[in-house]
Amino acid sequence: MTFVLAVSESTGANFASFDVPIWVWISLVAAITVMLVVDLLLVHRTPHEISIKEAGIESAVWIGIGLLFTLVMWLWQGGQASGEYLAGYLIEKSLSVDNVFVWAVIFNYFAVPRKYQFRVLFWGIFGALVLRAIFIFAGVALLERFDWILYVFGAFLLFTAWRIYRHDEAEVHPEDNPVLKLVQKVIPSTPQLDGQRLFTRINGRLLATPLFAVLVLVETTDVVFAVDSIPAILAVSREEFIVFSSNAFAILGLRALYFLLAGMQGRFRYLNAGLGVILAFVGVKMLLVEVYHMPTWLSLSVIAVVLTVTIWASLRAEKRDEELSSAAPGDSSTRVTPGDDHMEDSE
């Protein structure tokens, strides 16, 4: 027992750990709230279809803010803390891409006009921040109280990595979601949209619009993805402030990322393979943390290399397919494949 406690203490010393004054937490939450309100009331005050250009600019701004916070962490707590924040940010950002594609399926199923999708995602992100905070503090508390949870989290990440890599993740069928069925039974609803409102009054009755059902699905899918991403980030940091801030800044820009990538799922054909490798890496890192603590720079390097190779290979394959499809239709019929000349000779 003494040996286990000693190992646990030495393991915890390998991660950044510092006291966070309550005013710092309040400042972080206030800054996030202000950014959300400004985005809702100023940038997206009126419902409109977000163009690819607008989504690209907003994504760049949100990513810039997230990366800039790395500098804040470095000036405040040094290189170890800033490295853990950046690693957590990259992990959450990469894993969130799958979440974006699931949102596209949900919006298509309910036929939600693009100009109303932003408001749903705003409340979805707001709810996700609250849920992530609960998961993060609960996860850290479990790790501090029960050392064996490390192995459970690590094994779960390896299983998830194998499932994603082999494309065995379940297809999304919104109509089969049990939470949605419960909401539709309990809450009076209408199939009619009323602009971007979640609730409307018809004949004096307050009814939920289809956008409320979409919001419920967005929140439940985020819970599913948080089950993967929170243990993954806990493999690179145990400090609640680092884990929460990296999560928060990564998901703040998901709305803009959705409008940028929603129609580009086919272009990232190797995304699942890359995410599988990243999850497997952090799973192994968590399983070995009491034996060998991988330095933060190594974690960052592996994650960055995997993401770069995944994107490069996906875009290269997409470009190759476009070049083949742009060839004249007759080329495929006249193209001689290996062995055809021998077949002709034999005839």
Read off the pLDDT band of 112 (50, 70, 90): confident
Contact between 44 and 118 (Cβ < 8 Å):
yes
β-bridge partners, 202: 205
Read off the pLDDT band of 6 (50, 70, 90): very low
pLDDT in tens, 64-103: 999 999 999 999 998 899 999 998 998 888 877 777 777 8
Q: Who's near 280: CB < 8 A, 6+ residues apart? A: 157, 158, 161, 162, 165
The first and second tokens of residue 170, run together, are 């379940």
How far is the C-alpha of 329 from the C-alpha of 72, rounded, in Å?
56
Read off the pLDDT band of 2 (50, 70, 90): very low
pLDDT in tens, 217-276: 888 877 777 777 788 888 888 899 999 999 999 888 888 888 877 656 566 777 777 777
pLDDT in tens, 187-222: 888 888 888 888 888 888 888 888 888 888 888 877
pLDDT at 299: 74
Short-list 180, 171, 186, 182, CA closest to 210? 180
Q: What percent of the chain has pLDDT over 70?
A: 82
Kindly state the helix (H) or strand (E) to which residue 199 belongs, with its residue range.
strand 199-202
DSSP H helices in 253-346: 254-261, 271-287, 296-325, 329-334, 340-346
pLDDT at 291: 66
Q: Give the distance, in angstroms, between the CA of residue 76 and the centroid of all CA atoms in the same chain.
A: 27
| Dihedral, 241, 77, 28, 122 alpha carbons, nearest 10 | -70
pTM: 0.73
User: Strand, helix or coil at 339?
Assistant: coil
Amino acid at 79: G
Short-list 205, 201, 186, 55, CA closest to 117? 55
pLDDT at 293: 67
pLDDT at 9 over 70: no
Residue range 164-168: mean pLDDT, rounded: 65
| CB atoms inside a 10 Å sphere around CB 262 | 18
pLDDT at 347: 40
Short-list 264, 169, 177, 262, CA closest to 221? 177
Contact between 242 and 74 (Cβ < 8 Å):
no
Short-list 150, 152, 170, 301, CA closest to 225? 170
| Terminal C-alpha separation, the chain | 80
Query: Taking the domains of the chain in order of start, what are their residue ranges?
Result: 2-320
The first and second tokens of residue 112, run together, are 């939600």
Of residues 73 and 145, the one with the higher pLDDT is 73
DSSP H helices in 16-148: 22-38, 52-77, 79-110, 114-145
